[in-house]
């Protein structure tokens, strides 16, 4: 082997070694952004990573937040496991992101998924379609959730004279499947937007495809002529449930009935920590097609009533 070849091989090995070292150093410092860990983080490092994510919170700014981070890290010094940090991180989340921000353990996530149900759909003798749209957590079963409504509408579209979408007790979750489920009753284009650091990110519907809100979803494109759409809401309509409500806001054929919502209609991002705990962090507000901005205030119904289902049916029939 010539000297030139040896020098070339040495250079290649050296460069490869430097590249691998650089990747190692990068993953050591920033791997958590990709949920990649070279070594399990200490409880203190675990807290520091969580606080790093919280810097994007809607209220995480200025000297007050910096001081709070220092105080949180000080209190974390003697913690011995990840579970011990959760209460502390929940406290920090509320400061950084407000009341809609929370940490959910793996067990809490599993409980939410176990409780979820698919929509209930029926059509009465007057041609009024009733859709009960429950909360939906996670991503597994998202297509089945949306298709439960879309398939029924497709099979009965000629008989539908009016629609009732029941969002009562819908506490939120994954927005994509919910919007996809009611897409036959929404116009194409921008449905609403998320305002994050003064920039609007659209949630849109096009040819049965819902993008920009939760999981991107594609369902059969079903077009229903503009029939009256009544939406039921109550004090447990929250988060993505409120976002569905806002998707209909400003449409001349839609009307809301019931009581004020919970007031959690803000935009959240999700971050997973090393032990599988999920941080839900509020980073922005919701903006309706009317230009109205909502964040931590309840949405009032157009018709306040203690009997929203009966009032909605009466409005549709009239």
**Helix (H, G, I), strand (E, B), or coil: what is residue 7?**
helix
What's the pLDDT at 30? Answer: 47
| pLDDT at 5 (0 to 100) | 61
> Is residue 132 situated within a structural domain?
yes
144 in the same domain as 51: no
Q: Pick the last residue of a domain from 50, 75, 98.
A: 98
Q: Which contiguous run of DSSP H or E holds residue 191?
A: strand 189-196
Residue 265 lies in a domain: yes
Residue 105 lies in a domain: no
Answer whether residue 293 is part of any domain: yes
Same domain, 208 and 124: yes
> Which residues lie closer than 8 Å to 109 by C-beta, 6 or more apart?
137, 138, 276, 278
Tally of domains in the chain: 2
Distance CA 130, CA 70 (A): 52
The predicted structure's pLDDT at residue 20? 45
Domain extent at residue 188: 111-317
The pTM of the full predicted model, rounded to 2 decimals, is: 0.85
If asked whether residues 274 and 132 sit together in one domain, one would say: yes
Contacts of 81 (CB under 8 A, 6+ apart): 43
Asked whether residue 243 is assigned to any structural domain, the reply reads yes
Within-domain flag for 134: yes
Helix axes 43-54, 62-75, angle to 10 degrees: 160
CATH number at residue 247: 3.90.226.10
Average pLDDT of adjacent 10-residue blocks, the chain of 318 residues: 60 52 43 57 94 95 92 93 95 94 93 88 96 92 95 95 97 95 95 93 94 92 89 97 97 97 93 94 96 94 97 96
> What is the C-alpha to C-alpha distance for residues 39 and 288, in angstroms, rounded to an integer?
44
Residue 89 lies in a domain: yes
In a domain, 67, yes or no: yes
């Amino acid at each position: 082997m010539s000297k030139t070849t040896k020098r070339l091989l040495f250079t290649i090995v050296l460069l490869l070694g430097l590249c691998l070292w650089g990747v190692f150093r990068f993953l050591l410092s920033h791997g958590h952004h990709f949920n990649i860990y070279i070594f399990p983080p200490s409880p203190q490092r675990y807290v520091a990573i969580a606080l790093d994510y919280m810097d994007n919170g809607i209220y995480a700014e200025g000297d007050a937040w910096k001081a709070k981070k220092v105080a949180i890290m000080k209190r974390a010094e003697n913690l011995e496991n990840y579970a011990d940090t959760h209460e502390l991180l929940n406290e920090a989340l509320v400061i950084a992101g407000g009341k809609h921000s929370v940490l959910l353990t793996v067990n809490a996530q599993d409980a939410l998924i176990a409780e979820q149900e698919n929509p209930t759909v029926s059509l009465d003798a007057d041609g009024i379609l009733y859709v009960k749209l429950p909360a939906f957590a996670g991503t597994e079963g998202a297509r089945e959730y949306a298709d439960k409504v879309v398939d029924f509408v497709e099979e009965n579209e000629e008989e539908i004279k009016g629609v009732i979408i029941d969002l009562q007790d819908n506490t939120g979750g994954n927005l994509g499947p919910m919007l996809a489920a009611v897409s036959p009753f929404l116009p194409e284009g921008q449905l609403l937007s998320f305002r994050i650091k003064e920039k609007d990110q659209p949630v849109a519907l096009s040819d049965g495809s819902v993008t920009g809100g939760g999981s991107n979803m594609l369902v059969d494109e079903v077009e229903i002529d503009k029939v009256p759409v009544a939406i039921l809401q109550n004090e447990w309509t929250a988060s993505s449930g409120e976002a569905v409500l806002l998707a209909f806001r400003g449409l001349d054929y839609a009307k809301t009935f019931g009581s004020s919502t919970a007031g959690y209609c803000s935009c959240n991002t999700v971050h997973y920590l090393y032990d599988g705990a999920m941080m839900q962090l509020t980073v922005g507000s919701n903006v309706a097609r009317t230009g109205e901005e909502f964040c931590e205030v309840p949405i009032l119904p157009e018709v306040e009533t203690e009997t929203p289902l009966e009032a909605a049916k009466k409005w549709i029939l009239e």
